[in-house]
Structure 1
Amino acid sequence: MTDAARPRFAEALVAPSATPDYPGRMRRFGQLVGTWAAKGHRLNEETGEWVERDFTWLVEFILEGRAVQDVEIVPSETHPSGYETVATALRVYDPYAGLWRVSYVAPTMGEYCHLVATPYRNGLRQDGTRTDGRPIRWNFTSITPDGYTWEGWMSADDGATWVMVEHNEATRLR
């Protein structure tokens, strides 16, 4: 892609707002559109230790407002932009099934996850599988206009029991 085509690509992908076709449904993930400063802890499954992590989470409407995409970035001294893109998730509302389909990609970690999202208590629940086939459950809880809590759970016994493997809390910057 030429440098001249890059702005057109971004312009064609990013949407200014949600589609008006199903505003209530789009609000579920649409409430997260913005920029977030996140702090979290992730379980290192090999060592059993919790690793702290800080990142910026960028969330936008895309595809004529019919989907939401997020990008996780971290500061980088070696990348020319000053940051490294760690992961992205695409959340698309499926009006035929009445649910959200989620695909998460983190190439440097070898993670390619697919989930289905539904409303859950005062947040959102996403159920699916990790790259290795183990069930995962990702919950957004305590969502407010200025913050949210997110928990990642994993099961090694087909969902009989669940272990928390990640916990993030974020504050809205924009």
Structure 2
Amino acid sequence: MTTSESRFAEALIADGPTPEYPGRMRRFGQLVGTWAAHGSRLDEATGEWTERDFTWIVQFILDGRAVQDVEVVASDTHPSGFETVATAVRVYDQLAGAWRVSYFAPTLGEYCHLIATPYRNGLRQDGTGTDGRPVRWNFTSITEDGYTWEGWVSDDEGATWHLVEHNEAVRVH
């Protein structure tokens, strides 16, 4: 790693949550770590479900005021041995009392912006997908060692929802 890369990582990554609002930071902070995930995704054009395995790495950033994750998959062709598929940045907005979420998956052409709030024993993220349809992403069954995540989409402005993705993960580190 070059000095510039090292300084960038040092400036971005935080050791932990900001002490200013620890309870709020715990919402996504409980996911900080490395996860082995198995997911299935619906191809809406064909109706076929595709399964995949990936690693999800989550870390505090921006002096502990945000959480960023990266989704990586094993790759025989990439020099690092893995390919980064997507990233999400989740920033707590203390004025709104909610989390602002931006998700980017450039190779898939997916870009979403959502607002996250507590939901039952998990987290609900509501927003708009790349195609303009409402999306809802729910983290449920969050424990120290695992979580379930589901992605939903609506074709009628939120009157009804259908499942398009389901992931389950176990903590690795």
Distance 2:84 2:21 in 1: 31
Alignment of 1:54-65 (within 5 A): 54-65=53-64
Alignment of 1:102-141 (within 5 A): 102-141=101-140
Amino acid at match of 1:13: L
Measured after TM superposition, the shift of residue 4 of structure 1 is 2.3
Query: What secondary structure sits across from 2:63 in the alignment?
Result: coil
Partner of 1:78 in structure 2? 77
> Which 4+ residue blocks in structure 1 deviate beyond 3 angstroms?
none
Q: How many residues align?
A: 173
What is the TM-score normalised by the length of structure 1?
Answer: 0.98
Partner of 2:10 in structure 1? 11
The gaps in structure 2 that reach 5 residues or longer are: none
Instruction: Give the alignment's Cα RMSD to 1 decimal.
Output: 0.8
What is the TM-score normalised by the length of structure 2?
Answer: 0.99
Partner of 1:23 in structure 2? 22
| 2:85 aligned with 1:90 | no
Amino acid at match of 1:60: Q
Provide Cα deviations, 1:52-87, integer angstroms capped at 9, x if missing partner.
010000000000000000000000011000000000
Measured after TM superposition, the shift of residue 134 of structure 1 is 0.2
Provide Cα deviations, 1:77-103, integer angstroms capped at 9, x if missing partner.
110000000000000000000000000
Partner of 2:36 in structure 1? 37
Distance 2:39 2:19 in 1: 34
Query: What secondary structure sits across from 1:144 in the alignment?
Result: coil
Measured after TM superposition, the shift of residue 118 of structure 1 is 0.1
Query: What secondary structure sits across from 1:27 in the alignment?
Result: helix
Query: What secondary structure sits across from 1:109 in the alignment?
Result: coil
Measured after TM superposition, the shift of residue 3 of structure 1 is 2.7
| 2:54 aligned with 1:49 | no
* Percent of aligned positions that are identical: 76
Distance 2:17 2:2 in 1: 28
Provide Cα deviations, 1:20-46, integer angstroms capped at 9, x if missing partner.
000000000000000000001000111
